[in-house]
Amino acid sequence: MKDIPPTLAASLASGVTTLARCWRLTRRDGVVIGLTEHDDDLTVDGTLFRATAGASGSEDASALGFAVGGGEMSAALTSELIDAADLDAGRYDGAGIELILADWSAPEHFLLLRRAHLGEVRRSEGRFTAELRGLSSALNMVRGRLFTAGCDADLGDARCRIALAAPTLTGHGTVSAAEAPGLIVAAGLGAYAAGWFTQGRLAFTSGGNEGFATEVKAHTTAGAVRLELWQRPPVLPLPGEGFTVTAGCNKSFATCRDRFANTLNFRGFPHMPGNDAVLRVAQPGGQ
């Protein structure tokens, strides 16, 4: 149960309310953006909430226990506040959101309704709609070890212990051309065999996509070196932009053994019986 400030409670009891919802987004890099459904800008709790984006929200749902509550908010995509490039670059992934109810006639009277995290984001016709996930959604994340045939470590982390800085495992290239937003022709990687960087990680080191990183979907060498990316960069890569790309790992025991000679640090259970062994039944004449 929330304690409503006396001044706001008195306004609610008057029978005539002047209320507006405000959303304060805090990105993981510390950038704070305020949006309000009011028709004029409001300064609430030290934050300027802008009305230019035309923000609106759905019904806010809460649940008992550890069930995940949430809702949705939508606003216009504007270069001044939130643009498509920032969303594509992942700058809002996991952003914190505070939903505030404020009296627009006296903005110093407000109530923090809930805190949430930004979930799935959809875009259409110049607007975005963001899912608001309650704080209990963090309880749905996997914690601890997983008993699976594949490795549950990330290539190059403290558990894997592979030194990615080795030239054989990390390539430095430049963009020769972009045949599509997520398909680039690369220079400087001719010494690597086809498929070497498939499922690896590519990070741009210069240009308009500097800092953006994504997984490599496919690495081919027919005619020219091409890297197909799982996530398209925020802006179309231009010739000359630099990047680094690491070798790919499909987390299988065979790849760990044959490609990286790292079987001692394999973090999976390749010999664990699968469902076929559990469901196996006796057959006449069988062993």
Inform me whether the pLDDT recorded for 224 exceeds 90. Answer: yes
In a domain, 174, yes or no: yes
- Which of 30-44, 141-155, 202-216, 253-267 is predicted with the least confidence, judged by mean pLDDT? 141-155
Give pLDDT, residue 235.
85
Give pLDDT, residue 161.
94
What is the rounded end-to-end Cα distance, in angstroms, of the chain?
Answer: 65
From 248, 252, 265, select the one nearest 148 (Cα to Cα).
252
In a domain, 1, yes or no: no
- The answer to whether residues 73 and 133 belong to one domain is yes
Percent of the chain clearing pLDDT 70 (strictly above): 91
Write the pLDDT tens digit of every residue in 151-196: 999 999 999 999 998 999 999 999 999 998 899 999 999 999 999 9
CATH, residue 220: 2.40.30
Q: Range of 64's domain?
A: 8-140
Higher pLDDT, 285 or 163: 163
- The answer to whether residues 180 and 127 belong to one domain is no
- Which of 4-13, 166-175, 244-253 is predicted with the least confidence, judged by mean pLDDT? 4-13
The span from the CA of 55 to the CA of 2, in Å, is 25
Give pLDDT, residue 58.
61
Which pTM was predicted? 0.65
- The answer to whether residues 83 and 189 belong to one domain is no
- Which of 27-41, 124-138, 191-205, 227-241 is predicted with the least confidence, judged by mean pLDDT? 124-138
Give pLDDT, residue 66.
47
Inform me whether the pLDDT recorded for 247 exceeds 50. Answer: yes
The span from the CA of 147 to the CA of 269, in Å, is 7
Q: What is the mean pLDDT of residues 94-102?
A: 87
- The answer to whether residues 19 and 86 belong to one domain is yes
The span from the CA of 105 to the CA of 12, in Å, is 13
In a domain, 210, yes or no: yes
Give pLDDT, residue 70.
60
- The answer to whether residues 119 and 175 belong to one domain is no
- Which of 25-39, 76-90, 195-209 is predicted with the least confidence, judged by mean pLDDT? 76-90
Q: What are phi and psi of 10, to 5 degrees?
A: -65, -40
- Give whole-number Cα distances, 285 to 75, 262, 282, in Å: 68, 42, 9
Inform me whether the pLDDT recorded for 54 exceeds 90. Answer: no
In a domain, 177, yes or no: yes
Inform me whether the pLDDT recorded for 44 exceeds 80. Answer: yes
Average pLDDT score over the chain: 84
